[in-house]
Every structure is written in structure tokens, then in C-alpha cells.
Structure 1
Amino acid sequence: MVDRTPPPPSIHDFATWAPVLRLLRAGGAEGQATATSARVAGRIGRHDWSLPVRRPRPQPGRAAQVEDARDEFEAVERVQKGLADAGVDGISFTAKISPTGKTSLRLFAPSPAVEPGTGTSHPGTLILVEGALPQPWRCLPDPVPAAVPAASADPELLERTLRERLPDAVGATEAEIAAAEARLGVPLPEELKVLYRVTRSRWENWGDDDGAPERECRAVGCELFSLDDLYIADAASRHCSWKFAAMEAVVTPPDAAVQGLVGSPGWIAFGDNGGGDRLAVDLTPGPCGHRGQIIMIGHEESAGAELVADSLTDLVLNRLSERSGGSRTDQPPAVAYVNIRSLPSVEAAAHPGLEVLSIGVWDAEPLSLAPVIGLPRLRTLTAYPGTLADPVQIAELTGLEFLELGPQEWRVLLDAGAVPRSLSAAAITVHGDQDPLPTVAVANELLALWHRPRIIKTVLEGDLGPLRQRPSS
């Protein structure tokens, strides 16, 4: 007889989920009466998971070990094998477990129209219009025809300095530079050409010289990309989920050196500061900037960039800029927050340039949206559950492209037929330990209005058996 490896468990087989459900039931049973049904929920992806499991505390003086959570890892791994077998990246679930162990498990298959949630069993952002981008990601740079290179840009000095610092470097040929320009779709500025004529920064050119990368970094002032790895740092290169991207605003003050963009077809990324922030040559500067200036694109921000040096020559010579990015203190903000610690009212936030209104935790009477009705640029509204006096007022905000509300507020809009049809994306705010079933129902109604793929719910029935009581100590 030949032993055969059994096929991986199916994601729609109750036995696949039983170990996870037993862990969750055991963790939730502490301090609860065993005569009542328990509800558990979570999410498992092929490479991560979010489960309300209470892991045992390590013994005093000992760090947590893999063995301490082996049951959890093995239970999750069983589901992950099922996900891989089904070709599914992740799945959310909720289950109702009776005292006898009878269980009703509901699985929520991901929809291509729903972004993954942030570690919860509730749906993430709903993409109502396929391929739609938030307004800041659609912004292109303003033309600055008067922009010229800085007086400090000196290709001859730059080349002389780099060759002195990197005498053994292998530079790019003119054909290789031309190929890079063709790939990027823009001509490289002269200073950047000079840099790569000195060194094309390819690992194979360093051979066994382990110190070459560090010497090059010191010589240039950053971790230099190879000529083949240059890229255009446009908006598409700066990924951000709809929920957060919709909260950004592109603002360029009149005294700014750098335009407040998400990205630009004129930002040529050529290096890294060693911490994940990208250095780029800026060919589309702000009103007070220089063509060819060096900017830093922060990996922790979703929009804007910081001026580093007025030219590549300045960067290499460590003549860093002391100029600020600009200020706009005379203008009210395009993004306004109304809550117990920020603005005291919707009236205080309202002005013609308002693009984003976020209403947060509020301990007074619910708020009216009347002050912002008719504002020409308002495109994003988020409201903490229970903060709106009349959610139907949202129907009068005809320019909204993103809306985030609690399930009850969405229910009011749906029942009144008042969901703004201008929306491109939407989100449902859920706080605390709420059953995801009502949230999924609201999400599917919204998706149906735009004829988008809905979240598929699958119900599995099974029996976990009686809960084993832990021995008393």
C-alpha cells in the first residue's frame, strides 16, 4: 500500500475552521456563563490574521516563545492552507456557538470591489466606481514656466567632485542613459546624467569590493539607485487606501519651493536616505523652487515632499537647503476636523475652500450639516456614529466622492433613497465588538446601487462539542 498525502482542507469545510473556533470559544468563555451562546468573529489571510485570542503570559523572566501559541498557529495554518487551495487571499467570519457546541459559521468571501479591512471582520472601503482615484491622486503639477535651475547647479564641478571621490567607479554609457530616458519617458537633467556617467551603481561592477556601496553613499549623499532602477515618482507610485487617501488635500502655498502633490511626472526618484524616504530630482517645482532641485518623498506621508537641496551639486557637496516648504497661515485649512479637541462646530469649519470634513467624537448635541451645504469643493465627509442630527442632509452635498458613516446613518440614507450618487467610494465605521452581519448587509446594499460585485456570504453548520472545563488550580 502506498501512503498518500491527504488533499488540503477546503475553506468551505467546517472541519477546517473547528480548531480556530474552539480556541476563540475557550478564550471568550472565561468569566461568561456557559448557558449562553457565544459570538466570535475575526479575519484570516494567507499571510496574516486578526483573532481575539488570549495568548498565555510567559513565565516571569522568560520571553514569549513560539510554543506558547502553537495551538493558535496550527489552527490558523489549517485555514490558510484552505485559502491557498481556494486561491483566496483572505476571508472574514463570524460564528454563533451554542452551549452544547452547535455552531453556525458565516464566511464573508472578499469582493473585488472592497478593499481589505484593517484587521477586522468588517468590510473595508467599498470602491463604488471601478478604477476611480481620490481627487489628490488625480492632481497634476501646476506649470511654473519661470522656474530655472539654481545658480549652484554646476555639472562640471559635480563631475570633478564625484570622480575624485569614486575614481574606480564604472559609469553608464550614453546609450544606457538614452535607454533610461526612453524607459522613463522624460529626458534626464544634465546633473543626473553627470552622476550616472560617473557611476551606474550596479552591484556587478563592485565585484568583491564590499566597501564600494558605502563609499558611493558617502560620495553622493544617499543610497543611490542603479540607472536601471530610476523611476518616476508619480501619484501611482505612492499607494494609499481610499479611506486615507480621501482625507488628503493638495495645497501649494504661493511661497512654496515644492508643490504639495502626491506625486509628479517630473519627480525622478534616484536614491534613498536609508530609512525608506526617497530622494528625487524635481522638474516641476513650486512657485519659489528651482528646476532640478532635490526633494525627499517621505514614506510616512501620503502627499507632499520636502526640499533637501537646491541642486544635485549642492547635495553632493552637502550644501543642504535651509528654506522651508512655504506657509499659508492666512488661509483656512482644506481639511477640517470637528471634535471635542479640535474645531468646536461645523460652522467653524465651513469656507469655500473646504475639501474634507471629518466629524469625530462629540459629547454635545448632534450636528447639522447646513453650514457646508453648497460649498463648491467639499468632496469628503466622515462622521462618527451618532454625531449627525439629520443624516438625510447628506443628499444635499452633491459633490461628495467619499463618505464614511456608521451603519445606522447609512441605513437612514438607504431607506430614504438619499445616498449621493456622486460617490466613488464609501466606508462603514464600526466601533467596539459589533456583529459584522448588519455591516455586511449595508455594504452589499451600497454595492448593489452601483452594480458592483457583492460580498458573498456562506453559512456552515457544525458541532464543536461541549466546552472542556479547565481543571481548577
Structure 2
Amino acid sequence: MGRHRREADTTELLSGMAARVAENAPEGWRRAWASVHRYENGARSSVMQYELADGELRDGGVDLFKEAGALFFATKPWPDHLTVELAVEPSGEFEAVTSRSLIRTQYQPDRLLLVLKPDVLPVEPGDEQEGPADPTFAGDPDEAVRLLREYFRLRAEIFEEEYEEELPPPLDEATRAELMASLGVALPPDLVALYGVANGDDGEGVNIFDTHSWIDLEFAAEHPHHRNDGDWTDDPLTGAVFEATPPGKVRRSMSRDGWIVIGVNEDGDFLAVDMDPGPAGRPGQVIIIGGEYEGAPVYVADSVTTLLRRQVEALERGDYELDHGRLFVDAETPRTVEYLESFWWDADDHGDSLTGMPGEVQRVTAWKADGIDLEPARHAPLLRDVVLRGQGALDLSPLRDAPLESLTLELGSIDPTPLSGHPTLRNLTLRSRQPVEVAVLPTLPRLQGLDLSRAEVIDMEPVANLEGLLFLALTYEQWVRLWELGAELPSLAAVALGGNPTPNQINEWTEHFTGTLPDGQEKHTGRYDARS
């Protein structure tokens, strides 16, 4: 009874979803597609389109999250996530696929993602960088302890207190050694010395590391890393990991085992010592990670000692404010949001132009790119990510000389030929109203991600010959053309299906990669009340 009851419940819920899609359909519609994705934690995404009699596709805005939630909880056992793909006809018929394997992510809801090799992810740029040219520590243990005591002496003067505040006493030496050993990475000597005189600052608004409280050693050992390993649902190839300033100090990574968290602020940003620095960095340097940082660590100082020295010097200069009993020190520590904004050049905010773009820019977006001169990109030594949208065509030649890693083009017409042989491009997305010739693709030695699902590709042969591709997004028709060429592309770790495929096409596409339909992927057919 259980399985048949669940199937009946699922069909009834899908029928209700189909009825709501039909209720909100525009006049003259001849087919509709609705896709809803629901995670166990409640996160969700959706996309909906109606096809009109003249072939026009019109986006719909029906909220199906309530029904999707009911479907999710009707699925036993509860999955990590559930995708519903629904095709609705005006006649009252519907078809649907429910799947625990396919995903419409919040980043790319217009395509279905199927992960083939979850453990295979793109190598981060930081993994390809050399280690530090100077492997010595910049900090001084004795100086760090002196500065810590001076900081609290100055605080007592400012608050006009007779006695200095007391920090939590240090753990005994054996316990400290055991906890530090559990980190798997040796801490810098100046930080070790500080933990020898206090076990953090108790998080009571002292914030000796600028706006960050100093966490105790037990917490540091239990939560040593701000991990952001990511997976294919994070769309790891789109965009780029930014370079910290100055360049080369910090490895270009989202997270590393050598980043040991030592502080946290109210915004959820983490202060960390970097024991795995880039070629221009030094072990024990201080960085900001997590929280509001998006795609780049923030370099703060060459050591904890230097960070404390800045705090003390700011107090001595009088660069502080008292607010409701709290001390805010202006030690000129970089602020994450402002720091990251300096990396991004939005042409819309600059007269639809790149003129005057500073050399530290690493991301360019232009939502009205028609006629834009890309020549300044040729002289942008850190430019990694470019997104261009417009109605016409652009000369892409200047981008050939920029160290791009991710390029998204959504234009009326695209000629990617000038990108031939680009040495660093890892991810390419082409969206065009006119047919696109992609013969350039095999000349891109680092290409790992490709999305052609919103482009009409003239010849799929160049795609069939790509080696080392980890991710590929195509429409169902493009996938069929590729298969007809005998393409295997064994390096693929994740694939995506764009457009508005039918439930049968979704299952056929899935089975091509998995052999049989994965557990939890089922097709459903039925009728809805067309009068409702």
C-alpha cells in the first residue's frame, strides 16, 4: 500500500501544480514548462516558461514552492534535495519528472545539473602557485607579548580604570601543545607566545585584533578552518578567485588547510593566520576570510605582531572612538566589502566604458556592452573574469591579451575566433541570437568549462574534440548532435541540460550518462482539472 499510496499522493500534488500553471497561463499558450528545486534546508529555485502560438517564450511567475515543499515531504525517505520538472498542455494533460539526482541550482536555474564525479573538481589557481620565496616568520614572540600588554595598559588609561582588564588565563603547557598539534599545521611563534599568556580575549567586546575577537585555543582547535570546499552546485568554474592585494601574498583559493582561524567579528568575517602563503607572502601572515568575502581572501598584515603594533600605535595617536562603553580602534585594517568592490569594474557605472579602469581590476561587467571598446582590458594585468551583454557584436581581440579565466558573452552575434590560443581561459559561456562558429574551442589549452545551451552552434565537431573538459552544458538537441558524432568526453565530471526538454528527453539524457535512471528519478503522467 505504501508505494502505491505515495505514487497517488505524488500524482495528486503534481496535478495541483499543473492546474496552477494553467490558471496563470497567458492567452493563446500551447505548452508550459515549470521547474522547481527544493533543498532539505528549505533553499529553493524555480524557472517557468510558456510557449505561445507564434513560438514566443514568455517567462511565468507562478509560485509553486508550497506544492514543491509538499512533494519534498511526501518523498520517503526525505532526500537531500528534490527537483520537479513539469510539462503542462492546455488539453489538461501533464508529464513530470521528479529526481533526487538532477539539480537546478540557485546560481544557474535555467539548466539541469547532473554530477557524474562529485570528487572531481577544478583545481584552484592557488594550488598551482609557488610557495613563499621567504619562508621565515615576520613576527616576534617577545614583541607580540609586549604589545599585547601595552594594548591593555592603554585601554585602561582610555577607560580611566585603575586596573587593567584580565584576560582568560592560559591553558597549561601540555594542553596547549596537544591542541596545537591537533591543528595539523604549526602556528607562528608570535601567536604561540600570545596563547602562552592568555587563552583568547573571552569575546566580551575587547576585540584586540581590530574588530575581531581573539578566539580561545580550544575553539581554534575544534574549528580550525573556515572550510569552503564547494561542489558542482556552486558553479565552481564560473567567475574567478580574486588575487589579494598586494598580488602574490596570498594563494588564490577559496579555502586552504593552512588558513587557521584565530578571530571572528560580528559580521561573520574570520581572521586567520596563513601558514600556506603565496610566492610573495610569509608564513604567519594575517588574512580575512569568510563571511562577506566573496571569492578572495583579504591580506591584512605580515604577522600577528604587526597587527598588534598597528592597534597600539592607533591608540597612541588617538585614532579610536568610544561608543556605549566599547572601544573602536582605527588601525586601517582593510574592510572586506570595500576591498572587494575595488576589484570590480561595472561599466554601467562608468558611462558604459572601460576608460580609466585601474590596473587592480579583476572583474569587468557590462550589461549594455554594445559599442564598448575593450582595448583597456589588454592592459589589465589582473583581469580574470569578464561578463558582457548586448544586442550586437564586439571585437574580442583585446581579451586575448588579458589573463582571463572566465568569460561570459551574451550578445546578438559572437565571433570567438580572436580568442584563439588563449593561454589561461578556463570557462566560456556563449549566448547568442545568431548562429555561432566554435572552431576556436580546441585551441584553448586550459578550457575546463563550456556552456553553449543558449547558443545555436553551427558545428558540434569542435566540441567533440575537446580534451580535459570537466563541465559541459548543452540543449537536448545539441547533446544528440554530439552523441551522433561519437563523442565520449570521458573527462567530464558534471553535465547540464538547458532549454525546455520534455520529461522523456530528460530521462533519456540522464540514462546516457548513468546507464539506468538513478534511484529516486521517476516519470509521472496525469491530468489536471482544466476548468480550475
Query: Shorter-chain-normalised TM-score: which range?
Result: 0.7 to 0.9
Distance 1:239 1:343, change over 3 A: farther
Structure 1: distance between partners of 2:29 and 2:279: 70
Tell me, yes or no, if the aligned pair for 1:44 and 1:79 is still in contact at 8 Å: no
2:111–2:498 Cα contact (<8 Å) kept: no
Of 4, 14, 17 in structure 1, the residue corresponding to residue 8 of structure 2 is 14
Q: Whose relative contact order is higher, 1 or 2, with alpha carbons under 8 Å and at least 6 apart? A: 1
Q: Deviations 1:246-295 (Å, cap 9, x if unpaired)? A: 23556879952222123333211222233233221112223332321111
Shift of residue 18, structure 1, vs aligned partner = 2.5
2:119 to 112, 131, 140: 131
With structure 1 as the length reference, what TM-score do the two structures score? 0.73
- Structure 1 range deviating more: 13-22 or 179-188: 13-22
| In structure 2, C-alpha distance between the alignment counterparts of 1:420 and 1:303, rounded to whole Å | 29
- What is the aligned partner in structure 1 of residue 279 from structure 2? 287
Q: What amino acid does structure 1 have at the position aligned with 2:80?
A: D
1:150 aligned onto 2:138: yes
Q: How far apart, in 2, do the equivalents of 1:39 and 1:363 lie?
A: 21
AA partner of residue 495 (structure 2) = A
Alpha-carbon separation, structure 2, partners of 1:40 and 1:255:
45
Q: Secondary structure at the match of 1:280?
A: strand
Matches within 5 A, 1:89-238: 89-95=80-86, 104-111=94-101, 114=102, 117-118=105-106, 124-136=112-124, 139=127, 142-150=130-138, 154-161=143-150, 164=153, 166-201=165-200, 213-217=203-207, 221-230=211-220, 231-233=223-225, 237-238=228-229
Query: Which residue number corresponds to residue 387 of structure 2?
Result: none
2:438 matches 1:386: no
Is 1:307–1:321's contact at 8 Å kept on the other side of the alignment? no
Higher share of residues assigned strand:
2
Partner of 1:57: none
Residues 1:360 and 2:351 aligned together: no
Give the partner amino acid of 1:414.
Answer: W
SS of match in other structure, 2:235: helix
Q: Extract unaligned runs of 5+ from structure 2.
A: 49-61, 156-164, 312-330, 344-358, 361-379, 383-400
* TM-score under structure 2 length normalisation: 0.66
* Deviations 1:196-217 (CA, angstroms, capped at 9, x unpaired): 3344349xxxxxxxxx634232
- Match status 1:400 vs 2:451: no
Structure 1, gaps ≥5 residues long: 1-6, 54-68, 203-211, 469-473
C-alpha displacement at 1:393, in angstroms?
0.7
Deviations 1:205-232 (A, max 9, x none): xxxxxxx634232565303333233245
- Alpha carbons of 1:256 and 1:459: their partners in 2 closer, same or farther (altered >3 Å)? closer
Q: Percent identity?
A: 21
8 A Cα contact 1:356 1:379, kept in partner: yes
Q: Using the alignment, how far apart are the partners of 1:258 and 1:119 within structure 2?
A: 27
Verify the 8 A CA contact 2:83 2:99 in the aligned structure 1.
yes
Deviation at 1:115, TM superposition (A): 5.1
Supply the AA of the counterpart residue of 2:505: P
Contact (CA 8 Å) 1:349, 1:357: kept in 2 or not?
no
Which residue of the partner structure matches residue 59 of structure 1?
A: none
Aligned residue pairs, count:
426
Pair 1:33–1:320, CA change in 2 (3 A): closer
Query: Retained in 2: the 8 A contact 1:34–1:99?
Result: no
Tell me, in whole angstroms, the C-alpha distance in 2 between the residues paired with 1:106 and 1:222.
Answer: 51
- Alpha-carbon RMSD: 4.3
* Distance in 1 (alpha carbons) for counterparts of 2:446 and 2:525: 50
